Amino acid sequence: MRFDIITLFPELFTPFLTLGVTRRAYDSGQIKVHFWNPRDYSQGQYKRVDDRPFGGGPGMVMMAEPLDACLQAIRKQIQLSREDVPLIYFSPVGQTLNQAQVQTWSTSKGAIFLCGRYEGVDQRFIDQCVDHQISLGDFVLSGGEIPALALLDSLIRLLPGVLNDDQSHQMDSFNAALDGLLDCPHYTRPETWQGQAVPATLLSGHHAEIIRWRKEQSLAITAKNRPDLIEKTGLKGKIVSQSP
């Protein structure tokens, strides 16, 4: 699986590629990441990639020409169709990223990421070249690098051999094993910390009761913090009001 990232700041990705469990995906060759700086495809002495917006207003807009030249160079190198390797632009306009999308991308051949900066990207380039727009939520970031990192990290966790236990991610929040709900609370040693004891059920050794407790807690936590997820799953009638 290969990801090509168009960014003015490729150095922002370095720690992510060399640290943590996701590093295994790069070391093993499961994931290949290539960086492309649109300045390398800009004309003129100053290698400009942005200009003032038509109609006035604050900020600068990334120009279509260097982005298009960069994109064409990527497509020439990878030699895969646009359908197989689409261009993703991280933007507030996009659909909010969720676990179902992450699962889909984790089984793909890869993608090209466009990390915008400044006030955004010339709309003509978006209309002509962008296949998907993705947002992390209803807030604004300085660029698309953080969303790109978020998508890479979330999909890489799903690849075989990346986590110590290949079943681990199946019990994460939002996954099918949890009916798309939030995960339950977790505890470790010591059994009592600052007067707070681990729930007795988790120490009982009764696996069926532990599974039931975890499901109840997952429902209760989701109902309290993300009631919208309860509505989506149709599990509203199964909520158990119980503190961990």
Q: Of the residues 172, 183, 185, 226, which is catalytic?
A: 172
Please, what's the largest Cα pairwise distance for the chain? 71
Active site annotation includes 172: yes
Q: Is the CB of residue 113 less than 8 Å from the CB of residue 85?
A: no
Burial class (CB in 10 A: 0-12, 13-18, 19+), 3: buried
Q: Of the residues 157, 183, 199, 226, which is catalytic?
A: 157
Query: How far from the centroid of its chain's Cα atoms is residue 105's Cα?
Result: 10
Q: Of the residues 10, 53, 86, 92, which is catalytic?
A: 92
Active site annotation includes 92: yes
Q: Of the residues 68, 119, 153, 183, which is catalytic?
A: 119
Active site annotation includes 2: no
Closest CA to 61 of 116, 7, 18: 116
Tokens (6 digits) for 145: 């690098």
Beta bridge partner(s), residue 3: 33, 111
- The catalytic site residues sit at 92, 119, 157, 172
